[in-house]
């Protein structure tokens, strides 16, 4: 019998331990889908305060390991793991770097030492593999926070370190807009030769660009949807790295994110007041009533639709469009609920808007998983007017809950939502092309018109709920990629 393929995930977040966005959902679910396909997977994360104080107890499995970096980063760390349960997660513990209130920074900006925090984390991969007695065939890295791993693998470890000899690397870009840019004078801290600070290495307009380093040195690069893998090779979506990505086009693959329907489906969602299914919608009304109560919405509007957003409050997510269309929406017979955290100016804007429309506009600036599930189940439509969207998960969750998405045709949104009214099939949502408030508003009005025809809306809901974006297909695509590399 062939030996199991061994894969190490290296990432900066993963559910159920630490989360700021969709990256955590992928890192927390894809390993289990790969395990079902016979892959041996381990996941390495930083040991944040959120992990330390979480519900899953941990213990040190190796102590006083040392990151192979120059002064002053050649520091010791402990390797932690859950003390019970069958979790494939391991954690790099160094309190001065990771014992903080947030993962990457506060609402005011990033932590000043993120270069050092994530260089240290990347360098910790080698001693962690030794301590785990795990020789991975593939190291699968995610975003800029672990992009130094392919750089170290090719330039420092390959051929010299038995624990990683022959190991290949995959880098998944979840969001190209975040690249890990730092001042040139900090380059010596990375333990790399200055020859790597150049156009064919980590240099980007005389600054360090960690993501670029990963793109240059990884054996394969993936993005989280096919459309996004094509978009990022253009000036509009390439965030300045389109040239480097075009050079690696032959090694660039678009693999759509999957979702975990054990956690995100209305039939068995334990966080809902009432469950429901594609064949029996009764429970959806109970969830809508609970959602209205949670946000203090007017009972007089019980028959009106609820338009929802669960999002990072940022330009990328289309909040400039939301700000422009909100006054017109509030003049209509409908309700809007928004849940999320993000840029301080959008947080202030929402705090100022909510009191203007009592009973119609519900806002909570927070991360609240239980409420997120209630919104998916209780809302009628879900708004995602993104400027760009590598994959997006909420439109996929929404479809499963019969909450019809209204999305812009970009990235994963274009790959997953079929426009209603399409001649080929009845569609699963409403899609607009141009990034402007008129196009967004027109799509919402088309959706509202469809909502008034309850028979049509029911067909739309049933069609949306029938879609399957589980991890099975995507995990198989990753497995095929790993095998090609190995």
Report the side by side order of strands in the sheet with 181-183.
Answer: 181-183, 207-209, 203-204
DSSP-H helix ranges across 113-185 = 114-123, 125-132, 148-152
Closest by CA position to 90, among listed 130, 117, 33: 130
309, 311, 316, 319: CA torsion to nearest 10: 40
CA distance 43 to 81: 10
Q: Which two tokens stand for residue 197?
A: 């600070």
* 79 and 93 Cβ atoms separated by less than 8 Å: yes
Using DSSP, state whether 13 is helix, strand or coil: coil
Q: Which fold has domain 6-258+471-485?
A: Rossmann fold (3.40.50)
CA 476/CA 25 separation, integer angstroms = 18
CATH topology of domain 282-465: Rossmann fold (3.40.50)
Structure tokens at 345: 């100016």
Domain with CATH 3.40.50.2000 in the chain: 6-258+471-485, 282-465
Rounding to the nearest 10 degrees, give the CA dihedral for residues 399, 403, 408, 410: -20
**What's the pLDDT score for residue 20?**
86
Query: Is the omega angle on the peptide bond into residue 413 within 30 degrees of 0, that is, cis?
Result: no
Residues contacting 120, CB < 8 A, separation 6+: 67, 69, 73, 75, 77, 92, 94, 97
- The model carries a pTM of 0.90
Q: Which of 18, 28, 92 is nearest to 60 (CA)?
A: 92
Mean pLDDT split into 10-residue runs, the chain, 486 residues: 87 94 92 97 98 95 95 94 94 97 90 98 97 97 98 91 93 96 97 97 98 98 97 97 98 95 94 96 96 98 97 94 98 97 92 96 93 98 97 96 98 96 78 97 96 94 96 96 97
pLDDT at 158: 82
Structure token digits, residue 292: 């209205």
For 440: left if phi > 0, alpha if psi spans -120 to 50, otherwise beta; the answer is alpha
Q: What are phi and psi of 63, to 5 degrees?
A: -120, 155
| Structure confidence at residue 291 (pLDDT) | 98
Count the helix, strand and coil residues of the chain and give each as a percent rounded to the nearest 5.
40, 20, 40
Query: Running DSSP on this structure, what letter comes out for residue 237?
Result: T
pLDDT computed for residue 1 by the predictor: 45
Cβ–Cβ contacts within 10 Å for residue 113, how many?
15
């Amino acid at each position: 019998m062939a030996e199991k393929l061994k894969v190490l995930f290296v990432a900066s977040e993963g559910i159920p331990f630490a989360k700021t966005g969709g990256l955590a959902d992928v890192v927390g679910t894809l390993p289990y889908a790969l395990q079902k396909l016979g892959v041996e997977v381990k996941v390495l994360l930083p040991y944040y305060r959120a992990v330390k104080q979480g519900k899953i107890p941990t213990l040190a499995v190796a102590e006083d390991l040392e990151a192979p970096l120059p002064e002053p980063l050649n520091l010791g760390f402990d390797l932690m793991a859950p003390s019970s349960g069958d979790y494939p997660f391991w954690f790099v513990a160094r309190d001065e770097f990771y014992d903080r209130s947030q993962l990457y920074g506060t609402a005011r900006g990033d932590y000043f030492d993120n270069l050092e925090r994530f260089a240290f984390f990347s360098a910790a991969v080698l001693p962690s593999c030794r301590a785990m007695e795990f020789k991975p065939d593939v190291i699968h890295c995610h975003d800029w926070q672990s992009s130094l791993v392919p750089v170290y693998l090719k330039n420092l470890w390959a051929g010299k370190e038995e624990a990683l000899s022959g190991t290949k690397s995959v880098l998944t870009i979840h969001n190209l807009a975040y690249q890990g840019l730092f001042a040139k004078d900090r380059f010596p801290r990375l333990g790399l030769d200055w020859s790597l600070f150049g156009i064919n290495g980590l240099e980007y307009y005389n600054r360090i660009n960690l993501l670029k380093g990963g793109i240059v040195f990884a054996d394969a690069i993936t993005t989280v949807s096919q459309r996004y893998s094509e978009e990022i090779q253009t000036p509009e979506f390439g965030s300045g790295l389109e040239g480097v990505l075009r050079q690696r086009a032959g090694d660039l693959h678009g693999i759509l994110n999957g979702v975990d329907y054990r956690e995100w489906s209305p039939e068995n969602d334990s966080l809902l007041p009432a469950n429901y299914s594609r064949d029996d919608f009764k429970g959806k009304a109970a969830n809508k009533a609970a959602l209205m109560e949670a946000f203090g919405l007017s009972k007089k509007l019980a028959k009106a639709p609820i338009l929802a957003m669960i999002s990072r409050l940022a330009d990328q997510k289309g909040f400039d469009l939301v700000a422009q269309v909100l006054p017109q929406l509030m003049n209509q017979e409908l309700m809007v609920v928004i849940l999320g955290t993000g840029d301080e100016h959008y947080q202030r804007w929402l705090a100022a808007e909510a009191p203007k429309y009592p009973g119609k506009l519900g806002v909570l600036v927070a991360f609240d998983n239980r409420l997120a599930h209630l919104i998916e189940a209780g809302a009628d439509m879900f708004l995602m007017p993104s400027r760009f969207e590598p994959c997006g998960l909420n439109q996929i969750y929404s479809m499963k809950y019969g909450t019809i998405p209204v999305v812009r045709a970009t990235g994963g949104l274009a790959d997953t939502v079929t426009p209603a009214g399409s001649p080929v099939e009845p569609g699963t949502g409403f899609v607009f092309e141009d990034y402007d408030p008129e196009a967004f508003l027109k799509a919402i009005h088309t959706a509202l018109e469809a909502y008034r025809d309850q028979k049509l809306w029911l067909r739309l809901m049933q069609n949306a709920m029938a879609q399957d974006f589980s991890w099975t297909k995507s995990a198989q695509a990753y497995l095929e990629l790993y095998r090609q590399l190995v």
